[in-house]
Each structure stands twice: as structure tokens, then as C-alpha cells.
Amino acid sequence: MKFRETLGLMGVGNMGQAILEGLFSKRMVTGSRVWVFDTILQKAAEFSKKWQCRQAKSNAEIVKQTDIVILAMKPQDFSSAMKGLKSVFRNRQTVISILAGTSVEKIRREIGPRPQVIRAMPNLGVKVGEGITAIATTGVKTLSLQAARKIFSGCGKTVELEESYLDLVTALSGSGPAYFFLVMELMVKEGVRQGIPEGQSRLLAVQTALGAATLAASSSQSPEALRQMVTSKGGTTAAALAVLEEGKFSDVFHRALEAAVERSRELSKRQPPA
């Protein structure tokens, strides 16, 4: 189902592009109903040319021309990007923020009381229609929530949670693809180090990851149970996992997730007050 509303994107970075590309690839939007703006004008120009959408001259033009505004700039640039826009935002407009560590309360202070505000945390999988997005439902009216569901369902799957969970979601799934890319990267490097050509090493690593994820998604069994299926007593998998256990991999990974959560909270604290 195509959007009747006009969409505006502030910040044509990796995530902003990925969301719109997911919608374009499923033909849920047409370029004539999409406006984009980025302070790096060339980036916005290249994207608008590729997808035949409209390049706005400013964030103010995005607000004036669209029904749904997606905030996708860097969190630290948010306050400066919103200067002078309080009087421009309209009633019945929906603002969807994918900014890490930026609460609805902070957004509301910058943009005023008129539009509906929704926080969402997608991940890079939206670029290929396989993302997972957490949508914060706290205090959101039905029509705006439906718009957010439609946008992010067009790019993958969604979960709906209270806003208080979004720092944790940022660590788990927002940053999550990087953890899996790192494992694939290390597998490729090890294959190459021991003589397998890079292209074949990459295929082995990526297809293994794809197969594992597809199996986990289609199985009623937990990831723990699936891991145990692969781990024969005294076998090669058991030998590898024993090394990870010796290195306290679970503890290290737990600390990594905690660091990501804390960074999300720091981003919120470091943003200047309105």
C-alpha cells in the first residue's frame, strides 16, 4: 500500500537513506512525494537524483512541504537543525525520530507542541527490507503510530515498546549488525590467512551467517537450543566454544552492550538544553 502522505527526511546518512530505499524498493512511495535535506548538499543531491525525489533547500522547507518528517541527522546536530522551526511545525504533522539517546521530551522542547512525536530505533537491515525497528508507543496517538508502523514494516519487522527501553534497544539491535559483521570479518580474515581465496572466504562466512539467521528466524527453538544442536560433544564446535568460554566471551560481550547503552545515555545528556 502506497503512502498518501508526503514524507520528509532530515539527514541523508546511512540510516536515513536505508529507510527510504526500503520504501522505494517496495514501491510504497513515489519520488514526487518525498523531500530530502542534508547540510552536505551533494549527499542530498545524489540521493534525490538516484531516486527521483525532491531536494529541499532547508529543514524549514522539509517541514513546510511534508506530512511526516523523519529526523535522521546526527544526534549532536539535532538542536541546531531545529532552530527557528517551532512556528513552522503544524498540527496533525507526525515527526519520527531515529536519533539515538534523544528522548521525546527533548524533541518536544525543540519543535514545540503541535506535531505528534514518535521515537524509533531501526537498524541497517532496513536497507534490504530485513530490518528490525523498535517503536516507542508512550503517549502516541493512533494515526501517527499507524504511520510509523507502515514505514518500518515496509523495511522489515517491528516491535513496540515503552520509550524507557530504547537505550537498550539501541545497543542490542541498532548497533547489532556491526557485531555480526565483525564475526564475519574475522572469519574471512582467518580463511585468507590460511590460504583460502578472499572471495571464497567471504562466501563461506556470509552464507553461514545467513543460514544461521534464517534457521533461527524460522525455528521454534531458541538460539541456545540451536547452538547446542551444532555442538557435538568432543567435536570441532565444542573446541571453538571452549576457547571463547576461556576468554570469558560472554562477560566481554555483556560489557560491550553495557558500553553501548551508556553511550546512548551520554548522547542524551550532552545535547544542549533548549
The answer on pLDDT for 273 being more than 50 is no
Average pLDDT of every residue of the chain:
93
**What is d(CA 72, CA 174) in angstroms, rounded to the nearest whole number?**
13
Q: Where are the alpha helices (DSSP H) in 194-248?
A: 198-218, 223-230, 236-246
Is the pLDDT score of 203 beyond 60? Answer: yes
Report the side by side order of strands in the sheet with 68-71: 54-55, 34-37, 7-10, 68-71, 94-97, 116-121, 131-136, 156-161
Question: Does the pLDDT of residue 264 top 50, yes or no?
Answer: yes
> Is the model's pLDDT at 130 over the cut of 80?
yes
Task: Determine the average pLDDT of the residues in 139-157.
Answer: 88
Tell me the mean pLDDT in the region 185-195. 98
Q: Which residue has the higher pLDDT, 59 or 274?
A: 59
pLDDT surpassing 70 at residue 214 = yes
Superfamily of structural domain 7-166: NAD(P)-binding Rossmann-like Domain (3.40.50.720)
Cα 75 to Cα 85: distance, rounded to the nearest angstrom = 17
How confident is the model over 22-46, as a mean pLDDT? 93
Write the CB contacts of 269 (distance below 8 Å, at least 6 apart in sequence): none
Q: What pTM value is reported for the model?
A: 0.87
Does the pLDDT of residue 272 top 50, yes or no? no
For position 13, what pLDDT does the model report?
93
Residue whose C-alpha cell reads 525455528 in the numeric block:
219
pLDDT above 80 (res 179): yes
- What is residue 266's predicted lDDT score, i.e. its pLDDT? 83
Under DSSP, the state recorded for 273 is P
**pLDDT tens-digit map of 216-255:** 999 999 999 999 999 999 999 999 999 999 999 999 999 9
Please say if the pLDDT value at position 274 is more than 70: no
pLDDT of residue 217: 95
For residue 269, pLDDT over 60 is answered with yes
* The CATH number of domain 176-267, selected from 3.40.50.300, 3.40.1280.10, 3.90.870.40, 1.10.3730.10: 1.10.3730.10
Could you tell me where the DSSP H helices lie in the chain? 14-25, 41-51, 59-65, 78-81, 104-111, 142-153, 166-169, 176-193, 198-218, 223-230, 236-246, 249-270
Q: How far apart are CA 13 and CA 22, in angstroms?
A: 14
Give the pLDDT confidence score for residue 127 in this predicted structure: 85
3-state SS, residue 218: helix
Report the length, in residues, of the chain: 274
Share of the chain above pLDDT 70, in %: 97
Q: Where are the domains of the chain?
A: 7-166, 176-267
Bigger pLDDT: 200 or 266? 200
Is 60 exceeded by the pLDDT of residue 258? yes
- pLDDT tens readout for residues 110-119: 999 999 999 9
pLDDT > 90 fraction of the chain, expressed in percent and rounded: 81
The pLDDT value given to residue 219: 97
